[in-house]
Structure 1
């Protein structure tokens, strides 16, 4: 059963119960008031007759076998209940008096009752008549309830027919209103179904109604679609990057493995190759093996970063770390000038080993592209909440078109700046810096060199 039908049935049921309650109250009120009015009229007639002098029981003219609604019937009884006289319109009929009514009249109490006479109902009012404080007789005054019963029958018919008409109309109106109220939900359902079928996350629910609950639902659904679209795009980008990463890693791993396999083939030749060639082949294999080890280590670092393995968060003094890195740089680049300037006495929050690896990657990158006789400067600056370490070289610089991509994995620009690397160093450096809540930036000018800056948060004081 649909929500629309359930809501419509609920509206109709509530209305039906309400109409039934109102109808019962209205019918009961009309019945009581009308019957009370008739009883009061009979009481007034009985009082008038009882105190009239002389009393004549035949004051009603006309005789009728059947009871007519506008007629009043009068009957006089003795104290013992014997009928003494009655109006001619009663003909041969007697107004009944129940045992309880006779007892009440003997006690001096008036009695009202409804009795059936000749398939008609009569409202009978019996009043005791006293003479010198003695019960002289009982005066009964009655009227037919035909008009009263007909009025109640008409009222019942009108209430039932009117209620049925109102319920049917309410059912139709409720069906239309529920359909209009649920139409945005149907649109949401259609949109969700279309998105699931066509994978179209750009579709949105078109809602132009008021900002009620349905409007809030439509807005929330559209917001969810925005987030799903972003998540889908990020997933697509991640999958694309993963596929590219796997393809690039496979390519980078295949190159040294191909070289090693080719050299092994040379060593297996018969007759064997010359001793001098054999030593050269072994040297190439050692170099390729070392290259392969470095590449695998780099891939492991990136895999740990992607897996979300947290780094240590500890206090790291910058000055000793930079001095240590400068010493290693001078050993590796003896033909270049390594300058360490403005070493700030700052303590940052991070992982010392990861931070040292970042600086060594940047120094290795600077040494790789700074020609002999060039200058590499390492400097640190202290800000309000952060400390920055910059490494500047005097190499060929980076082309503007390559700057947005240099931190991407396996990205390599022109041959003058690629060398033999796999394009993972700067990507590793960025991942390590990001994992320490830091930031790495680069500024470069073609032909004049590049400056890489690593910014880390200071230890709270």
Structure 2
């Protein structure tokens, strides 16, 4: 069952229950109101009849004070029935006069046998001088009967019955119930149709969201958006949130696609880099197995070539291993490390890579950071190696304290980095078109960034095309108050 149908049925059910409660209340109020009105009219008519009967009783003395035994105690009917006032009573209100035993005494237009119904409970209540209301069937009609005791000298003398048919009231109530039923059914049907249309209009943006999601799933096109121009209600906020999610998904999908493309290129580069030394080593080994054997000088050259290629593969594998450890979240030490010895050692090793290049050092001797010594050295070597590969002039290395940080800068003079490539220098596997012929795998700066962040530091790069680049590393300074008992020694 769709949400649209469920909402429409819910609205219709609520309306139907409301109409049912309203109709029941209206019918009950109308029924009770008409009944009370009839009772009031009957009470007024009955009281008039009682006053008339009392006057006749006092004047005519219908009941003898001491009737002889065996004689009929009922007064002569013709005396009261022939009274003009009694004759003038409206036949719409049926009037009967009974004696204390409940026997018919007088009636304006009827014979003595046509008495109105009176139950035993009603007769007992009248004898106890209580008014009694009764609804009974009489002459194929339902009557509302008002039974009024006539008390003289604290004794029940007569019972006056005033009745009126309930036919008009019941016909009116039946008409009212049919009207309420028909109106309720028609209103419910119309409300169902209107609710169906309104629910469809309200859920139309959700339907468009569903269609957009299906299209995105089928076409993998995250550039599509939900077209919503309605008010800023719950559905509007849903459409806005869905569009915002699509923006983030599109960006994430783009990044994942770029990363996968870079990884494919990286795998191809690694395969090429590994295939070349492996082919060289295999060829050299085949040469060493030749018979007769090669001269000793040539054998030494072959071994040197194999060693160089083996070192190259070792460096590649070490970089991949370091990157894998970085992805796994390496646990670096956080101990005081003197920066100057580490940077000076790294500069000496870097000079061995290119003895023609000048590396200028401006290193403060009293700078101590809270970090990992091996990570700090790896960071310095990566930055120096990167500067040697991508520049031609001198390289300047500086270390100074800028509380609460220690600042390490590596500045080179060279072609620099293009502005469109600068935001991607820390992306893994990224080398840039300008550097596609430069040896390396695009892992140095990403590894350095991971290590710096592992030491709770930050790294940034600035570059001016045609002038060179500068890499700045900030690491937290170590202070004496940071030392724990037993850890005051500085790593060197």
Both structures adopt the same fold (TM-score exceeding 0.5):
yes
Alignment of 1:22-421 (within 5 A): 22-52=22-52, 53-54=55-56, 56-57=80-81, 59=85, 71-88=92-109, 93-329=114-350, 337-343=358-364, 345-366=366-387, 375-393=394-412, 397-398=415-416, 400=418, 404=422, 409=429, 411=431, 418=438
Change (3 A) 1:219 1:120: same
Gaps of 5+ in 1: 64-68
State the SS of the aligned residue for 2:431. coil
Change (3 A) 1:413 1:150: closer
CA contact (8 A) 2:99 2:157 kept: yes
Q: Which region of structure 1 is more displaced relative to structure 2, 324-333 or 146-155?
A: 324-333
CA contact (8 A) 1:61 1:89 kept: no
Q: Which region of structure 1 is more displaced relative to structure 2, 128-137 or 153-162?
A: 128-137
Alignment of 1:415-454 (within 5 A): 418=438, 424-436=443-455, 437-443=457-463, 446=466, 451-454=470-473
CA contact (8 A) 1:15 1:167 kept: yes
Q: Which region of structure 1 is more displaced relative to structure 2, 97-106 or 38-47?
A: 97-106
Q: Per-residue deviation at 1:252? A: 0.9
- Alignment partners' CA distance in 1, 2:91 and 2:301: 139
CA contact (8 A) 2:416 2:464 kept: yes
Aligned to 1:456: 475
Gaps of 5+ in 2: 58-79, 482-492
CA contact (8 A) 2:417 2:468 kept: no
Give the paired residue count: 451
Aligned to 1:16: 16
- Alignment partners' CA distance in 2, 1:102 and 1:366: 122
Question: How large is the RMSD of aligned CA atoms in angstroms?
Answer: 3.2
Q: Deviations over 1:325-359 (max 9, x none)?
A: 34445666665554322426323343221221221
Aligned to 1:66: none
Aligned to 2:65: none
Q: Which region of structure 1 is more displaced relative to structure 2, 71-80 or 357-366?
A: 357-366
State the SS of the aligned residue for 1:51. helix
Q: Per-residue deviation at 1:86? A: 1.1
CA contact (8 A) 2:459 2:471 kept: no
State the SS of the aligned residue for 2:379. helix
- Alignment partners' CA distance in 1, 2:276 and 2:194: 77
Q: Which region of structure 1 is more displaced relative to structure 2, 327-336 or 159-168?
A: 327-336
* TM-score (ref. length: structure 1): 0.86
CA contact (8 A) 1:62 1:88 kept: no
- Alignment partners' CA distance in 1, 2:150 and 2:443: 124
- Alignment partners' CA distance in 1, 2:34 and 2:430: 100
Q: Deviations over 1:96-150 (max 9, x none)?
A: 2222222222222222211111210111112222445443322222111111111
Q: Per-residue deviation at 1:216? A: 2.0
- Alignment partners' CA distance in 1, 2:138 and 2:421: 113
- Alignment partners' CA distance in 1, 2:24 and 2:234: 37
Change (3 A) 1:57 1:123: farther
CA contact (8 A) 1:392 1:450 kept: yes
Change (3 A) 1:133 1:303: closer
